């Protein structure tokens, strides 16, 4: 029972990341009709926003300490972060400690800007081109972005720890007699993902902007004929989708140290999530994200891997194949989409 | 005399045939004149440095490349000479004089293995066939090293392996043209197991997470055998795909497995991610069977320990070499490398620097670049002054035998490089094994191949 619940929890926190990335991906597909293979790169850039802020907060003055030696026998260079000099040691350390949550504030404008620049600067030129062209150009863009990140940050993963207050594990099963503890940050990530998903849905459901966007998703031409500049609204939606992916990346950094290849690692998975959920369906993307996260988690258990060796590596693709064969429009996709 | 039936096309055809005929000896010379592949003809000799310049081990590849450049500089008489000044063979000085190799200036070409066997073979092939490389060296993955070693054997050039730790490189996949300075999974286990027993006791149950490729398999087999010989039990061994980034679903079952030790047979990004997950799930704060839960990382590298951050503190592992060693060779290398690049070298940098020096010395000893001469000079070579104490290149399998370092993550690092501390220098006698040891059986060294 403990192990079962543990894998469900694990699936939920994995699924949170999949759902957030797939949500942005399907938002772009649903509004602009673009298959964006650079969406994984946006997740990765979000993660590196967190790394960048951490590095900014750690910018330091350097003093030489003659009492200590470096590896060459020279006086050791001791670094004191500027934030500690400005705000005092305790406050400065606290700011650095909370760099990941603070990076949310840093990442939102950065990701919005990147999304808008990407859409206006490159992707809009490919709206009327075949999907194959869109895939090629966005995939190329993803490679360029990851190489730029690698040039600046190197190839090794970079530790970006959670704040001390949200580190460690939480006992979830003590009250009901179960041995069930789970990392606090992963639980935080799940609730953060739910808040972002809820926010996006509320934005689309309860604001005029959202209503116009939803109308545009259903019938772009008619909305255009009403005198609404739907292109501008879709550009903003592209920026919002980029920000959602970026936020998913920011908050994921304490779970896994980010590296330049993250975009590619999550890209294929996210597309499978979108296909399983239904191309263009926002609830479908969220549902499929959590579903595939849980399935993947169970497929990695010792029982599963000994019963069917290699199942952990193919489970997600197996589900995608079954869905495409049995219900090509996905779990919650609109009738007709992917069924022609 | 008049030229009859002479056409412009005929003249061109004749000219082309004559040209090809004249060029033929030149073309053949490059490969066959001296009876071996890429025999150097001019005033220089070209070495091929095949390292990961992209992909997950790119940082290690970059450090290897720095060390190769330093080695070339020293061989050509530049810089402070580094370990060339401390390198001794069989009681005397090495044959290296700082005038290149056999009087020829050393030049080099580089290739990008991308940490993929096919890409590594393609770049090695290109360096041999297009650039005339006489020797190939490098690699940060056993899968890559084994693949390139096989190619070099077929092509008739020497392969001086870089960072490769699988038993198979000098075990079932050993080749006469291939040499490994780096230690291996068996040696790690032989050095580590007694320390683990001393620290954690004999009544322990281990759970292994293992990278699913040649290095992971042999590392796991070695550490399991060595720890079981000390009384430990093995609860489980789970193979994890090399591409795994989130290890949480593999770590979660460990919590209720009854094991009190987690052995992470992972390297590079895999190790950083799996260790992060293990620490996140509170394994290090857990008590099982009345004992503190412990994590072990059999193969450490300083570069990846830095990536794992605070998570490595107090965790035991092994390493081939560390910049804090105080022997003359290590000090000379650290000074030379640190002065040039501003930070201490990694174990990957150290092993490839040594390999370049060892190859150059073997050519000087043999008086030729002919791979068979180099093999003869290298087999059974006893040397010292390269940072690991007295070392032997065993003739039977071309594996180096030297002391092994047991290290642990430092509790109070003084700098970003100061992440590991040497706990024990395990004497080589403790990590030696017979050439026909079951973990290394099944291969055939074969005969050297000069190619051409």
Instruction: Please report, for the domain that includes residue B358, its CATH number.
Output: 3.40.50.2300
Question: Is residue B164 pLDDT above 70, yes or no?
Answer: yes
Q: Which residue in the block uniquely carries the two structure tokens 């010395």?
A: B361
| ipTM of the shown complex | 0.84
Residues of B in contact with A18 (CB under 8 A): none
Residue with tokens 């390493």: B319
Q: Does B285 touch chain A if contact means CB atoms closer than 8 Å? A: yes
Confidence check: pLDDT of B383 > 50: yes
CA distances (Å), origin B325, targets B135, B314, B393, B420 = 30, 19, 22, 12
Chain B touched by A78 (CB under 8 Å): no
Residues B145, B225, single domain; the answer is: no
Asked if the structure places residue B39 within a domain, the reply is: no
Mean pLDDT of chain B: 90
- Examine residue B159 and state whether it is found in any structural domain, yes or no: yes
Separation of CA B368 from chain center: 24
Residues B225 and B273 in one domain: yes
State the smallest CA–CA distance between residue B98 and chain A in angstroms: 24
Q: Which tokens belong to B130? A: 């297009």
Can you list the domains of chain A with their CATH numbers? 2-59+99-326 (1.10.3470)
Lowest mean pLDDT among A53-67, B54-68, B390-404: B54-68
pLDDT of residue B3 exceeding 60, the answer is no
CA distance B165 to B153: 19
Q: Are residues B57 and B155 in the same domain?
A: yes
pLDDT, average across residues B95-103: 94
Q: Are A269 and A68 in contact (CB under 8 A)?
A: no
Q: What is the CA radius of gyration of chain B?
A: 24
* Residue B444 within a domain: no
* H-helix segments, chain A: 2-32, 39-57, 82-87, 89-97, 99-121, 131-153, 184-206, 208-218, 220-225, 230-252, 262-277, 282-299, 302-307, 311-326
Same domain, B155 and B274: no
Q: Tell me the sheet residues that pair with B237.
A: B208
The Cα–Cα gap between B13 and B5 comes to: 14
Question: How far away is chain A from the Cα of B23, in angstroms, using its nearest Cα?
Answer: 44
A256/B276 touch (CB, cutoff 8 Å), yes or no: yes
What local confidence, expressed as pLDDT, does residue B25 receive? 41
In three-state secondary structure terms, A80 is strand
How many residues are recorded in chain A? Answer: 340
Q: How far is Cα A134 from Cα A311, in angstroms, rounded to an integer?
A: 32
Q: Give one DSSP letter per residue of B72-136, joined into a string.
A: HHHHTT-TT-GGGGT-EETTEE-S--SS-BTTBEEEEEEEE-TT-HHHHHHHHHHHHHTS--SEE
Nearest residue on chain B to A185, alpha-carbon basis: B280
Residue A247: pLDDT above 70? yes
Whether the predicted pLDDT of B309 surpasses 60: yes
Closest chain A CA to residue B243: A265
Asked if A269 is an interface residue toward chain B (Cβ–Cβ < 8 A), one would say: no
Query: In 3-state terms, what secondary structure has residue B279?
Result: helix
Quick check: B123 and B151 in contact, CB under 8 A?
A: no
Indicate the number of domains in chain B.
2
Query: Tens of pLDDT along A117-145?
Result: 999 999 889 888 888 898 999 999 999 99
- Exposed, middle or buried: residue A220 (CB in 10 Å: 0-12, 13-18, 19+)? middle
* Residues counted in chain B: 452
Contact flag B311-A14 (C-beta cutoff 8 Å): no
- Residue from the list B236, B245, B306 with its beta carbon closest to the beta carbon of A256: B245
In 3D, which of B21, B41, B22 has the Cα closest to residue B132? B41
> Which A residues in the span 95-134 are in contact with B, Cβ-Cβ below 8 Å?
none
Q: Does residue B50 sit in the same domain as residue B173? A: yes
Query: Do B276 and B170 share a structural domain?
Result: no
In contact, B51 and B113? CB cutoff 8 Å: yes
pLDDT at A336: 60
Q: Which residues pair with A134 in a beta bridge?
A: none
% of residues, chain A, pLDDT over 70: 98
- One domain, residues B271 and B361: no
Q: DSSP state, A333?
A: P
Tell me how far CA of residue B442 lies from CA of B57, B168, B172, B182, B353, in angstroms.
29, 9, 5, 21, 30
Structural domain for B164, as ranges: 44-183+323-402
- Angle formed by the axes of helices A99-121 and A230-252, to 10°? 150
- Per-residue confidence band for B10, with pLDDT thresholds at 50, 70 and 90: low
Banded model confidence at residue B29, pLDDT cuts 50, 70, 90: very low
Among candidates A2, A76, A156 on the partner chain, residue whose Cβ is nearest the Cβ of B59: A156
pTM: 0.85
Q: Is residue B354 part of a domain?
A: yes
B137 found inside a domain: yes
Structure tokens at B275: 């260790």
3-class secondary-structure state, position B233: strand
Are residue B137 and residue B77 in the same domain, yes or no? Answer: yes
Q: Which carries the bigger pLDDT value, residue A287 or residue B245?
A: A287
B298, B319, B340 - which closes a domain: B319
Residue B101 lies inside a defined structural domain of this protein: yes
User: Which of B235, B239, B245, B343 to mutate to probe the A interface, most A CBs <10 Å?
Assistant: B245
Residue B258 belongs to a domain: yes
Q: Same domain for B93 and B150? A: yes
Quick check: A155 and B344 CB within 8 A?
no
Q: How far is CA A32 from CA A124, A129, A205, A243, in A?
A: 9, 12, 19, 16
Mean pLDDT of the region B230-258: 88
Q: What integer pLDDT is reported at residue B54 of this predicted model?
A: 78
Q: Tell me, yes or no, whether B266 and B327 share the same domain.
A: no
Residue A159 CA to its chain's centroid (Å)? 17
A14/B248 Cβ within 8 A: yes
Which of B288, B319, B350 lies at the terminal end of a domain, its last residue? Answer: B319
Round to whole Å and give the CA distance between A267 and A142.
Answer: 10
The token duo for A142 is: 């993803």
Tell me whether residue B96 is in a domain.
yes
List the single best residue of B55, B213, B246 to mutate versus A (max A Cβ within 10 A). Answer: B246
Are the beta carbons of A183 and B280 separated by less than 8 Å? yes
Best residue in B249, B254, B306, B337 to probe A by mutation, most A CBs within 10 Å?
B249
The domain boundary, picked from B319, B340, B367, lies at B319
Q: Which of A101-105, A294-298, B189-193 has the lowest mean pLDDT?
A: A294-298
Q: What is the pLDDT of residues B107-154, one digit of tens each?
A: 999 999 988 999 999 999 999 999 999 999 998 789 999 999 999 999
Same domain, B283 and B369: no
Q: How much is the average pLDDT of A188-196?
A: 96
Closest of B353, B360, B362, B299 to residue B329, by C-alpha: B353
Give Cα A174 to chain centroid, integer Å: 32
Nearest residue, CB atoms, B238 vs list A3, A259, A302: A302
Instruction: List CB contacts of B63: < 8 A, sequence separation 6 or more.
Output: B303, B345, B346, B348, B349
Q: Does A301 touch chain B (CB under 8 A)?
A: yes
Q: B282 in contact with A at a CB cutoff of 8 Å? A: yes
Residue B134 sits in the same domain as residue B69: yes
| pLDDT band with cut points at 50, 70 and 90 for residue B9 | low
């Amino acid at each position: 029972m403990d192990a079962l619940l543990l894998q469900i929890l694990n699936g939920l926190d994995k699924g949170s990341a999949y759902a957030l990335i797939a949500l942005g991906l399907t938002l772009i597909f649903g509004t602009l009709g673009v298959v964006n293979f650079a969406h994984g790169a946006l997740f990765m850039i979000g993660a590196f926003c967190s790394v960048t802020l951490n590095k900014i907060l750690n910018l330091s003055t350097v003093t030489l300490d003659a009492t200590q030696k470096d590896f060459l026998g020279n006086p050791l260079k001791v670094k004191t972060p500027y934030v500690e000099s400005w705000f005092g040691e305790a406050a400065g350390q606290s700011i650095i400690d909370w760099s990941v949550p603070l990076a949310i504030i840093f990442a939102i404008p950065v990701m919005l800007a990147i999304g808008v620049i990407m859409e206006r600067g490159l992707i809009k030129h490919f709206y009327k081109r075949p999907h194959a062209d869109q895939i090629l150009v966005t995939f190329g863009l993803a490679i360029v972005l990851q190489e730029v990140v690698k040039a600046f940050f190197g190839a090794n993963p970079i530790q970006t720890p959670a704040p001390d207050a949200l580190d460690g594990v939480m006992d979830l099963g003590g009250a009901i007699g179960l041995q069930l503890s789970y990392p606090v940050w992963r639980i935080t990530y799940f609730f953060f993902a739910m808040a972002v998903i809820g926010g996006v849905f509320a934005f689309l459901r309860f604001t005029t902007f959202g209503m116009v966007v939803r109308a545009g998703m259903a019938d772009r031409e008619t909305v255009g004929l009403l005198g609404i500049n739907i292109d501008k609204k879709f550009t903003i939606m592209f920026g919002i989708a980029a920000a959602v992916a970026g936020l998913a990346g920011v908050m994921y950094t304490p779970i896994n140290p980010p590296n330049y290849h993250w975009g590619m690692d999550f890209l294929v998975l996210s597309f499978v999530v979108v296909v399983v959920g239904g191309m263009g369906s926002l609830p479908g993307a969220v549902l499929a994200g959590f579903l595939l996260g849980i399935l993947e988690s169970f497929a990695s258990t010792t029982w599963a891997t000994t019963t069917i060796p290699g199942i952990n590596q193919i489970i997600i693709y197996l589900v995608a194949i079954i869905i495409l064969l049995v219900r090509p429009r996905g779990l919650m996709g609109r009738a007709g989409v992917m069924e022609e | 005399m008049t030229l009859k039936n002479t056409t412009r096309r005929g003249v061109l055809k004749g000219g082309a045939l004559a040209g090809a005929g004249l060029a033929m000896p030149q073309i053949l010379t490059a490969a066959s004149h001296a009876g071996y592949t890429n025999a150097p003809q001019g005033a220089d000799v070209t070495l091929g440095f095949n390292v990961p310049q992209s992909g997950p081990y790119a940082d290690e590849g970059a450090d290897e490349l720095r060390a190769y450049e330093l080695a070339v500089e020293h061989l050509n008489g530049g810089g402070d000479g580094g370990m060339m000044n401390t390198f001794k063979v069989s009681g005397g000085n090495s044959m290296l004089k700082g005038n290149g190799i056999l009087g020829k200036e050393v030049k080099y070409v580089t290739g990008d293995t991308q940490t993929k066997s096919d890409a590594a073979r393609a770049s090695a092939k290109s360096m041999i066939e297009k650039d005339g490389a006489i020797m190939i060296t490098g690699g940060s993955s056993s899968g890559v090293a084994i693949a390139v070693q096989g190619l070099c054997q077929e092509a008739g050039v020497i392969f001086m392996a870089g960072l490769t730790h699988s038993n198979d490189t000098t075990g079932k996949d050993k080749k006469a043209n291939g040499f490994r300075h780096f230690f291996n999974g068996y040696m790690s286990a032989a050095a580590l197991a007694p320390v683990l027993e001393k620290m954690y006791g004999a009544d322990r149950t281990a759970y292994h997470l293992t990278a699913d490729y040649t290095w992971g398999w042999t590392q796991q087999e070695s550490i399991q055998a060595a720890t079981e010989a000390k009384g430990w039990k093995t609860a489980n061994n789970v193979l994890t795909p090399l591409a795994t980034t989130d290890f949480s679903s593999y770590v979660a079952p460990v919590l209720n497995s009854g094991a009190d030790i987690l052995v992470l047979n992972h390297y590079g990004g895999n190790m950083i991610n799996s260790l992060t997950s293990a620490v996140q799930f509170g394994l290090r704060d857990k008590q099982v069977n009345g004992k503190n839960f412990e994590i072990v990382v059999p193969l450490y590298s300083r570069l990846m320990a830095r990536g794992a951050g605070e998570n490595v503190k107090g965790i035991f592992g092994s390493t081939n070499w560390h910049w804090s060693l105080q022997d003359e060779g290590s000090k000379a290398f650290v000074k030379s490398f640190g002065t040039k690049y501003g930070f201490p070298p990694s174990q990957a940098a150290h092993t490839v620097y040594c390999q370049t020096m060892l190859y150059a010395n073997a050519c000087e000893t043999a008086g030729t670049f002919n791979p068979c001469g180099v093999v003869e000079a290298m087999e059974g070579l006893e040397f010292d002054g390269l940072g690991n104490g007295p070392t032997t290149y065993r003739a039977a399998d071309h594996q180096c035998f030297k002391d092994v370092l047991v290290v642990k993550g430092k509790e109070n690092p003084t700098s970003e490089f100061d992440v590991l501390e040497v706990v024990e220098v395990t004497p080589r006698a403790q990590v030696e094994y017979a050439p026909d040891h079951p973990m290394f059986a099944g291969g055939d060294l074969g005969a050297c191949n000069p190619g051409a």
